Structure 1
Amino acid sequence: MLITPTPQRVHPEVRGDRAVATLIGAALAVAVLAQGAFHPGPFVLVAALVVAAAGTAAVLALRRSRDRTHLTPAGTAALWWTAFALWAALRAVAAGDGLRALPTVAVALVLAATTVTTAGLTAGGRDVVRSVVLALGVVVAGAGWLGTAFHLAPLSMPSVGLWRAASTLTYANAAAAVLVIVLLVAVTTVDDARHRAVLCSVLLLGLAATMSRGGALGLAVGLVVLLAAREGRARLRSLARVPVATGFGLVGLLPSFPEGSAAQPLPAAAGLAAGAAVLLGGRARLVAFGGAVALAAAGVAVGPLGGAAPATLAVGAIADTRLNGGSSDRFALARETLDRLADSPLFGVGPGGLDLTYVNHAGQLVHAWFTHLEYLQVAAETGLVGLALVLAGALALERVS
């Protein structure tokens, strides 16, 4: 006699929670895969998904706890960022062009809604969002590696003499920012040691391929925070093989880094295989090691025929441009932005009103809209008042468990 199991009914609130998590995950996916939602079309889609998630979450919250009135840390952060949005709008109107504040206001409100909505998810909903975040990190790292190994623009683009992984964000520093965040999430939330090591190796190699000094600094700060906690130190100890595996992968990418050189996917693949051999065990390690040797030999044989640049060129370019603290263009942008801030320190020049036109160190006229130092730009456009509101929201999140 065939017995058909009775399907288990999912509680409506559980379904609703999953729907909220799915909408947030979809918004994150659009933001990461569509150039950071920098352009209006993708951003409108992200905003629509977040609004739908927030509306669904609000209905669920009313059903769950009608008498709950205390303000959570995430709610506090959202209030600060909503206040910042209001301040930016008022500042733009006072500057004579209220529409200029629209991008700033929209980003602040989407950030506020996303924060409070995600914080209100149950453990199951947060697991959904975490899975999406980790998957997106792998996609960003993999796309950046492919772009660099095969010289596929805009997944990787020449900058300061190097092909630097830009991934789906199409900007190396933005890709690095995403990968640092996802890497820290992986270290702190993935419980299986082997899965954690493999995932962190992939993310760290993607981060290395961006050649972003800001990304390296962000990772260093995150590691310091982890080292301050006992559990963080334990998790980092379990990742002892990760830097070695990542090192092999990075060495394999070196011939592909120099701008003007031919792409060298064989050495890059050999580096991946060697890194896998470090992480894996048993027969899989032997297979990976054998593949690394074969690919490396093929790369040595084929490289000169394809016009490959020696890896030493990449080492020299990295040392000259990435291992020093200087960046005359960035320093000039920061200096010009500080000059604009000095003109109106409390209220700023108004959202969208930062026009950086100056003569650089080479005597060339430069026109830019972005400082590449977001907190400084927020201060210049909305004054110290606006910066204080943004930082107050960030500090409120420190108490989110």
Structure 2
Amino acid sequence: MNAGDVVVARRESVALPVPVLVLVAGFAAAVVAQGGYHLPGRVLSGLLVGVALVLARPRPTFLAALAGAFAAWALLRGLLAGDVLSGLPSAVAAGVFAGAVLVAAQADRAQRELLATVLVGVGALVGFSGWVAVVFRVPSWTTVAEGLLRAASTLTYPNAAAAVMAACALLSLVLRPSLLMTVLSFLLCAGIGATMSRAGVIAFVAGLLVLCACWGIRKTLTAALPPLLGAMVAVGALLPSMRLADEPRPLLAVLGLIGGALLAVGLPRLGRALLPVALVAVAGGAVAAGFTSGLATRLSFSSPDRSGATGAALDLAARAPLFGAGPGNGSFFFDQGNAGPRFMRYVHNEYLQVLVELGAVGLVLALGVVAVVLRALWRGRGTSLWAGAVAGFVAVLVHSGFDFLWHLPAVLIVAGLCAGLGFPSTKDGMDEGEAA
């Protein structure tokens, strides 16, 4: 065997480094453990990310320094409020995100492709499990809202599941086309629809716009339309089972899932006819949704609870604009007219939540972390995987303005992995990437 054969064999046998495997295990653990929201899941996922970070031994970076400063401020603010442990969740969140970025950034190009494929596979399982939960009325994997049974999967929170799937779906669009990848993309898009998450759809659309800018409109539409149209069929067939007042219709849902998958696989063969077919399907789907009872609240941008919580959060932030009310002290009371007084633990806007609890100091540090990541992503531009990674990361950023996502390690890890996948890497892929 000559030197050229050795190089070819090495390229064909790609394996993920041990630190990345541990990181993936942390992501999977968080997904299974209700997104890592509760203490056991948060400890397990955080511990695995920490082990991955120790094994990877990344170079000291400005990103690590800023994330460390945010974590230190959260702990200090908790100490000043009389409970240092109250700042621990925010500190761990910063560490989990930065750790995921730094570990993923060390993978070479081939390893990054494999890592992205693994993420897409896990995300597709989230989508499929959510679909199964709605069809067969699995209580722990669904959430009831406005008379609809919404898919929550093992994360048990529909909006968090939608955020994870949106990032993974955008990654799937830029990976090497294959029958399996098309099916996975379809399951992810159908899974987002099954959550009935308005913010999830907005975030996914924002990611698609970023993908159009970074990868090209034609490439993006060619990759995205088949799974999206297939998902419309699957979700349309799922709607009768989502209405809690009606009996589930599993046969219709299964036929819709199979039909949607076949449509997603078959549409790329249409070539130039794809766009007209897509427009007809979108119009038909819009008409069908208009005649579907129970969807009015999900098709509206109105959310009185969140509006009331936002007003209460702004009032609370105005009382302590610089240092905040303290970690864990962001509780929001407001009056909702005829509904009477209401209480919400989260404002459903992570940027505002940080401002309320950690003040302008915490928000500036958090936005500094985001800015450093975006700067590093800009330096890593050039590949299709980079475009998908940027789109996935932006989708999580957008969605974070509508829901409490930074409290779930599963979302933080997938956001960090997307960022790390798009960080600069050497051309030959033999050396670790620069992590800002």
Question: SS of 2:324's equivalent?
Answer: coil
Pairwise CA distance, 1:91: 1.6
Q: Note if contact 1:21-1:125 (Cα within 8 Å) is conserved in structure 2.
A: no
Q: 1:313 to 1:257 in 2, by over 3 A?
A: farther
Pairwise CA distance, 1:124: 4.5
Q: Which stretch shows the higher mean deviation, 262-271 or 123-132?
A: 123-132
Q: Note if contact 2:322-2:359 (Cα within 8 Å) is conserved in structure 1.
A: yes
Q: Which stretch shows the higher mean deviation, 366-375 or 260-269?
A: 366-375
The one-letter amino acid of 2:46's match is A
Structure 2, unpaired ranges of 5+: 1-8, 268-287, 381-436
Is residue 101 from structure 1 mapped to residue 87 from structure 2 by the alignment? yes
Pairwise CA distance, 1:154: 1.9
Q: Note if contact 2:226-2:265 (Cα within 8 Å) is conserved in structure 1.
A: no
Pairwise CA distance, 1:343: 0.6
Distance 2:215 2:89 in 1: 41
Q: 1:106 to 1:48 in 2, by over 3 A?
A: same
The 5 A counterparts of 1:50-199 are 50-58=49-57, 75-188=61-174, 190-199=175-184
The one-letter amino acid of 1:339's match is D
1:216 paired residue among 188, 195, 201: 201
The one-letter amino acid of 2:293's match is G
The 5 A counterparts of 1:301-320 are 315-318=292-295, 320=296
Is residue 47 from structure 1 mapped to residue 23 from structure 2 by the alignment? no
Pairwise CA distance, 1:44: 1.1
Is residue 258 from structure 1 mapped to residue 243 from structure 2 by the alignment? yes
Q: 1:103 to 1:240 in 2, by over 3 A?
A: closer
Pairwise CA distance, 1:139: 0.9
Q: 1:24 to 1:313 in 2, by over 3 A?
A: same
Pairwise CA distance, 1:348: 0.8
Q: Deviations over 1:269-296 (max 9, x none)?
A: 11112213313459xxxxxxxxxxxxxx
Pairwise CA distance, 1:204: 0.4
Q: Deviations over 1:331-387 (max 9, x none)?
A: 111111111101111111011111223333334333332111111101110112211
The one-letter amino acid of 2:163's match is A
The 5 A counterparts of 1:211-290 are 211-231=196-216, 233-280=218-265
Q: Deviations over 1:4-41 (max 9, x none)?
A: xxxxx99xxx98x6211110000000111111111111
The one-letter amino acid of 2:292's match is V
The one-letter amino acid of 2:71's match is A
The one-letter amino acid of 1:341's match is A
Q: Deviations over 1:290-330 (max 9, x none)?
A: xxxxxxxxxxxxxxxxxxxxx98982211x20111111011
Distance 1:251 1:377 in 2: 35
Q: Counterpart in 1 of 2:396?
A: none
Pairwise CA distance, 1:79: 2.0
Q: Deviations over 1:192-233 (max 9, x none)?
A: 254443222111000001111100110111111111134464
Q: Counterpart in 1 of 2:270?
A: none
Pairwise CA distance, 1:78: 2.6
Q: Note if contact 2:141-2:151 (Cα within 8 Å) is conserved in structure 1.
A: yes
Q: Note if contact 1:255-1:314 (Cα within 8 Å) is conserved in structure 2.
A: no
2:322 paired residue among 321, 325, 346: 346
Larger Rg: 1
Q: Counterpart in 1 of 2:373?
A: 397
Q: 1:312 to 1:322 in 2, by over 3 A?
A: closer
Question: SS of 2:342's equivalent?
Answer: strand
Q: Deviations over 1:114-161 (max 9, x none)?
A: 221221223344344323311210111001100111211122221122
Pairwise CA distance, 1:90: 1.6
Q: Note if contact 1:79-1:393 (Cα within 8 Å) is conserved in structure 2.
A: no
Pairwise CA distance, 1:267: 0.7
Q: 1:314 to 1:392 in 2, by over 3 A?
A: farther
Q: Note if contact 1:187-1:236 (Cα within 8 Å) is conserved in structure 2.
A: no
Q: Which stretch shows the higher mean deviation, 103-112 or 157-166?
A: 103-112
Distance 2:82 2:134 in 1: 45
Distance 2:309 2:169 in 1: 30
Q: Note if contact 1:353-1:381 (Cα within 8 Å) is conserved in structure 2.
A: yes
Q: TM-score, normalised by structure 1?
A: 0.80
Q: Note if contact 2:150-2:196 (Cα within 8 Å) is conserved in structure 1.
A: yes
Q: Note if contact 2:124-2:185 (Cα within 8 Å) is conserved in structure 1.
A: no
Q: Counterpart in 2 of 1:6?
A: none
Distance 2:163 2:44 in 1: 22
Distance 1:88 1:217 in 2: 30
Distance 2:173 2:265 in 1: 18
Distance 2:289 2:99 in 1: 49
Q: Note if contact 1:146-1:155 (Cα within 8 Å) is conserved in structure 2.
A: no
2:308 paired residue among 313, 332, 342: 332
Distance 2:224 2:95 in 1: 38
Pairwise CA distance, 1:112: 1.9
Question: SS of 1:158's equivalent?
Answer: strand
Q: 1:240 to 1:220 in 2, by over 3 A?
A: closer
Distance 2:263 2:333 in 1: 50
Question: SS of 1:358's equivalent?
Answer: strand
Question: SS of 1:261's equivalent?
Answer: coil
- How many residue pairs get aligned? The number is 346
1:370 paired residue among 316, 332, 346: 346
Q: 1:151 to 1:313 in 2, by over 3 A?
A: farther
Distance 2:99 2:228 in 1: 37
